Chain A
Amino acid sequence: MDATVDGMRSGSAEPISKAKGTGRIADPIFVTLLWASGIFVLILLGLIIAELFKGGLPALQHFGLDFIWSSAWNPVTENFGALVMIYGTLFSAIIAVIVALPLSFGIAFFLTEIAPQPLKRPVGVAVQLLAAVPSIIYGMWGFFVVVPLIAAYVQPPLIDLFGDLPVIGALFAGPPLGSGMLTAGLILAVMILPFITAMFVETLESVPPMLKESAYGIGATTYEVYKNVSVPYGKTAMVGAIMLGLGRALGETMAVTFVIGNATRLSASLFAPGATIASTIANEFPEAPIGSLKLTSLLQLGFILFVISFIVLALSRALVRSRLD
């Protein structure tokens, strides 16, 4: 490659035919390498899916499709089901997106439109640094700082206020433990915030200035420009960003394990302890003997998480495509 570039640069020093000669060998090698890299990802992904499926197959054969709908998780009687974990995974991830979304919108628009130059960098860097914090640190912060705060100042007033109402009351039922679905969702929100924000910023920055200037020119306010120009322009990319954040929240393990309360019971309450697929695998894996039903059930759980992530990705692609049409 270098030879080709050098040959082209030096021009008259070497005959063109000679330079092409090296290209004739280097090019196929280069192309082969590119193919190999591309295929490598496919094979790797394929093998992971195949291994997970193979490992989890005994559980599926033993319990049938009931495995997905069963809310049991009893290591004593070896009766396993995935419903509680699937529910917990989706519930906590959706809370995370609901909390992170408005914040991300706010930060992104602030950074691109409002922030004075001296403030732009510190805020931008701070958001990026959030992404660099290891998830175990979020877990410890959640466990030692957020959980006691929520147990003392957030849950008791909410339970007093809404606990006795019909329907909504179910969302706020239970003792103020601190840990639970809501706390897990809040920690996850902070964790996915930088990813969503970064993509929002990129999208908003790619809005052609001419469009915005024209809008301002005909007398639109900042909010109107945001609502009618910037957001519609970047809508598809933004949906992609949200899905990306959702995908990250689905698989998060360590931080969630610390704050979700780890109970394999179904509950509609925001305050009830629950479990996600990833947290259950992290908790149970060390004590799952080889060849046991528990181990294959855990592998099957991993496979289900894979499928859920795949569906989320596919949905985001479909959404993006429909907007494009």
Chain B
Amino acid sequence: MKLTTALGVIAVAGSLFAGSAQAVDFTGAGASFPAPVYQSWGAKFKEKTGATLNYQSIGSGGGQNQIINRTVDFGASDATVPGEKLAANNLLQFPTVIGSVVATVNLDGVTTNQLKLTGPVLADIYLGKITKWNDKAIADLNPGVTLPSNAIVPVYRSDSSGTTAIFTSYLSAVSPDWKSKVGSATSVQWPTGAGAKGNEGVTGTVKNTKGGIGYVEFIYAAANKLVVTQLQNKAGKFVTPEVAGFQAAAASADWKGAKDFAASMIDAPAPEAWPIVSPTYILLPKNPTNVEASREVMKFFEWAYTKEGADIAEGLHYIPLPAAVVEQVKAAFKAEVKGPDGKPVL
């Protein structure tokens, strides 16, 4: 109790100096993929309002656990939570930014954006069916490229992660074989290859291994200038991983019809769409015990959806939500999150 009082005093004192009377500190925990943008938003938001966001990047599963136990004000998860689980725990799920996953390779003489792959070929590589780089399936897609005879070494995330969930849902979407043999989850039973911890582990292993192929988040590949590949999208076009392609995928998703904002943009049909794109989500209690903090969380994300917040996200290579979706989320804030008195919190 004393600690809460002390924190309250500090928060009040802080807000006085910041010139805002309502600033409340709020805490969140979960997915590590959006952590950089949440932290940048938090820093800017503090400058503006004095309210401090304390975000712990502990992984999506941890974020779900903590918000279900109500030990934080909001949870963050890369994978969507099933509708029944949301209902059972009285949680509102909404997206914040959109991220994408790209394939990176280590092949002599192959430069970035040069190698062309299709979804089924990628799935066959990770299934262990295609084992040499000069396999006919790959050579047919890349007529002008001299492919070495190296063994293909598929590299995957050893730690369970949202990135793996997105990548394996893509492989499940494009390859019936993958769907029946392996499936999609934050970690799966990989039929072949080697695992490494985190984006940096996958990158390091691919860089160390001639013939290695791995998957990483686009923000990580862009920041480290990795050798990435093209992929064929659902429309049959080979696309390079670029922001325009991610936006096309995000815009083509069926946001209106999706329950709990669980809109799929994996293997999107738009002609320019990059095929491995997925939003990352926030979980917020619909019946908050700490009403003040919950109001602050919603104000925070409303601000994050503005031009100012979107610019910060784009600077870090994340894709902001389409405007129509933002309006839907804002409406959900007002309609769904209610205090103990039954009135909307916001």
Contacts and interface: CB of A to CB of B under 8 A. Distances in A.
Decide whether A and B assemble into one complex: yes
Contacts of B119: none
Contacts of A151: 208-209
B58 interface: yes
Given A75-B188, A178-B209, A264-B189, A286 B182 contact: no
B204 interface: yes
A244 to B, nearest CB: 28
A148 interface: yes
Contacts of B240: none
A76 B209 contact: no
For chain B, give the interface size range: 35 or more
A179 B212 CA distance: 13
B208 A148 contact: yes
Contact of B194 (A74, A148, A262, A288): A262
B244 to A, nearest CB: 32
Interface in A144-171: 144, 147-148, 151
Given A257-B197, A263-B195, A179 B58 contact: no
A77 B182 CA distance: 9
B183 A76 contact: yes
Contacts of A261: 194-196
A72 B65 CA distance: 26
A288 B188 contact: no
Given A178-B209, A286-B159, A73 B189 contact: yes
Interface residues of A, number: 33
Contacts of A251: none
A287 B160 contact: yes
Given A143-B201, A273-B195, A74 B209 contact: no
B252 interface: no
B187 interface: yes
B64 A76 contact: no
Contacts of B195: 261-263, 273, 283
A290 B188 contact: no
A287 B59 contact: yes
Interface in A280-325: 282-284, 286-290
Contacts of B211: 175
A179 B64 CA distance: 33
Contacts of B69: 290
B186 interface: yes
Contacts of A284: 159-160, 187
Interface centre among A72, A262, A279 (most CB of B within 10 A): A262
B294 interface: no
Contacts of A287: 59-62, 159-161, 186-187
A76 B189 contact: yes
Contacts of A177: 153, 194, 205, 209
A156 to B, nearest CB: 10
Contacts of B186: 75, 287
Nearest to A177: B194
Given A178-B209, A287-B160, A289-B65, A72 B189 contact: yes
B68 interface: yes
A283 B208 contact: no
A286 B190 contact: no
Interface string A77-114: 10000000000000000000000000000000000000
Interface centre among A263, A265, A282 (most CB of B within 10 A): A263
Interface string B241-267: 000000000000000000000000000
Nearest to A144: B204
16 contacts: A72-B189, A74-B189, A76-B185, A77-B183, A143-B201, A177-B205, A261-B195, A264-B189, A265-B190, A279-B158, A283-B158, A284-B160, A288-B61, A288-B160, A289-B61, A290-B65
Interface of B: 58-62, 64-65, 68-69, 151, 153, 158-161, 182-190, 193-197, 201, 204-205, 208-209, 211
Interface of A: 72-77, 143-144, 147-148, 151, 175, 177-180, 257-258, 261-265, 273, 279, 282-284, 286-290
